[in-house]
């Protein structure tokens, strides 16, 4: 692939920053547009960082004027399901209005190719397993609905304005840069793998395993071991899919709107994740049982056959231990927590 100039909107966040690193590694020029509300400036080393908000026409103009881009990747969004139920206005404002403003600014600047971060939350209640792209989309929370709405806008932009886009519907993004350069830094952290590994870190630092701060939400559910099943996909594999989608758009192979699931196709329960973390860390990680978290679907596993067939996507991380291993290595390289500090829980 020849070197291209790529605008990465929301590039300072977890998946966005891994994407920037991958684009730089492939020799592309990267400009990050991010308001740093949830991202980190130090995660985009080597990129040009333009600080701005997608809801500001002035900020967008300032970024697009005087620069030319071959393609945009759009990661900027609020992305906590629970928070979206409590603050729908903020979610629609950032995720929907912000995306509309971005699309208009891009159209004005004649940047007509976009890779969009979408989600399995656009499907809603699972009716068929595994979930394919043909699964009905009836999202059940404001986060899922906000992403679904943007997909509809992208379809119409493709049909009417020739604005081509690829929507990538992630399942559970997990893991860190295999070379240990970047990690997952959410605040608050609500995701399972980082929370389990934080607990391991606490015990490794001399904390009492019995004083665990880890909660397991739901243990008597209608799943094989009673806990929720998810499809954990390594963040680097997600980035590879973005590159493939970008190549397709740049080559003009995809001229309209396309959507692909990005999942491993393999389900892993919460208990299996904890077991994997025990194996990888060699630490006796304990947990407390807690009621099922509101809005948590029992089972979310995607079929990525289309991404494999059409994009030629070949995920490298096929086992949960490998995914956890990259997260653990990165976490160990960070400052160790105090033994008394239990991991926090939000949502
Ligand atoms: N989970 C848990 N304890 C935690 C955090 C998460 O038991 O402290 C469970 C959660 O209920 C879900 C699974 O782990 O079944 C994955 O949650 P996560 O927040 O990582 O991703 P989600 O699938 O909600 O996007």
Report whether pLDDT(236) > 80.
yes
Give, using CA atoms, the residue closest to atom 19 of ligand 1.
Answer: 191
Task: Confirm or reject: Cβ of 296 under 6 Å from ligand 1.
Answer: yes
Give, using CA atoms, the residue closest to atom 25 of ligand 1.
Answer: 172
Report whether pLDDT(321) > 60.
yes
- Give the pLDDT mean for 257-266: 94
Report whether pLDDT(342) > 70.
no
The model's pLDDT over 1-12, given as tens digits with 9 standing for 90+, comes to 589 999 999 999
Cα-Cα-Cα-Cα dihedral sign, residues 267, 270, 275, 281: positive
**Predicted pLDDT of residue 336:** 59
Non-local CB neighbours of 138 within 8 Å, separated by 6+ positions: 123, 124, 125
Task: Confirm or reject: Cβ of 190 under 6 Å from ligand 1.
Answer: yes
The model's pLDDT over 125-141, given as tens digits with 9 standing for 90+, comes to 899 999 999 999 999 99
Task: Confirm or reject: Cβ of 197 under 6 Å from ligand 1.
Answer: no
Percent of the chain with pLDDT over 90: 89
Task: Confirm or reject: Cβ of 261 under 6 Å from ligand 1.
Answer: no
The model's pLDDT over 213-235, given as tens digits with 9 standing for 90+, comes to 999 999 999 999 999 999 999 99
- pTM score: 0.95
- Give the pLDDT mean for 104-120: 97
User: Looking at ligand 1, which atom is closest to the CA of residue 217?
Assistant: 7
Cα(120)–Cα(331) distance, integer angstroms? 27
- Which is catalytic among the residues 143, 232, 260, 287? 143
The model's pLDDT over 265-287, given as tens digits with 9 standing for 90+, comes to 889 999 999 999 999 999 999 99
**Predicted pLDDT of residue 345:** 29
Cα(93)–Cα(85) distance, integer angstroms? 14
Q: In what order do the strands lie in the sheet with 299-300?
A: 268-269, 229-230, 299-300
How many residues are there in the chain? 347
**The CATH classification of domain 5-174+232-262, taken from the options 2.40.40.20, 3.40.50.720, 3.40.30.10, 1.10.260.40:** 3.40.50.720
Going from N- to C-terminal start, the domains of the chain cover: 5-174+232-262, 192-230+265-301+316-346
* CATH number, domain 192-230+265-301+316-346: 3.90.25.10
Q: Answer left, alpha or beta for residue 133, where phi above 0 means left and psi between -120 and 50 means alpha.
A: alpha
Cα-Cα-Cα-Cα dihedral sign, residues 146, 9, 23, 17: negative
């Amino acid at each position: 692939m020849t070197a291209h100039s790529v605008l990465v909107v929301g590039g300072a966040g977890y998946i966005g920053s891994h994407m920037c690193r991958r684009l730089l590694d492939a020799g592309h020029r990267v400009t990050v547009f991010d308001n740093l509300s949830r991202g980190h400036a130090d995660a985009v080393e080597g990129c040009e960082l333009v600080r701005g908000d997608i809801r500001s026409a002035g900020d967008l103009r300032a970024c697009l004027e005087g620069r030319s881009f071959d393609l945009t990747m759009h990661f900027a969004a609020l992305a906590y399901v629970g928070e979206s139920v409590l603050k729908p206005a903020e979610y629609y404002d950032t995720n929907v209005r912000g995306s509309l403003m971005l699309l208009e600014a891009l159209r004005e600047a004649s940047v007509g190719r976009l890779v969009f971060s979408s989600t399995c939350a656009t499907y809603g209640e699972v009716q068929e397993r595994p979930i394919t792209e043909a699964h009905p989309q009836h999202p059940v929370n404001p986060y899922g609905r906000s992403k679904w709405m943007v997909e509809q806008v992208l379809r119409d932009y493709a049909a009417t304005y020739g604005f081509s886009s690829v929507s990538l519907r992630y399942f559970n993004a997990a893991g860190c840069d295999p070379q240990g350069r970047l990690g997952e830094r959410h605040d608050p952290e609500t995701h399972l793998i980082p929370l389990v590994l934080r607990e391991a870190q606490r015990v490794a630092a001399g904390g009492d395993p019995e004083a665990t701060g880890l909660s397991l939400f739901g243990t008597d559910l209608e799943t094989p071991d009673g806990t929720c099943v998810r499809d954990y996909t390594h963040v680097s594999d997600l980035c590879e899919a973005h590159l493939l989608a970008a190549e397709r758009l740049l080559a003009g192979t995809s001229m309209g709107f396309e959507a692909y699931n990005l999942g491993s196709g393999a389900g892993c329960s919460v208990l299996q994740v904890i077991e994997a973390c025990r194996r990888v860390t060699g630490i006796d990680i304990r947990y407390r049982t807690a009621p099922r978290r509101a809005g948590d679907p029992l089972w979310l596993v995607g079929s990525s056959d289309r991404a494999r067939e059409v994009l030629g996507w070949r995920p490298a991380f096929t086992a949960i231990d490998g995914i956890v291993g990259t997260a653990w290595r990165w976490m160990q390289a960070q400052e160790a927590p105090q033994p008394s500090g239990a991991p926090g829980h939000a949502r």
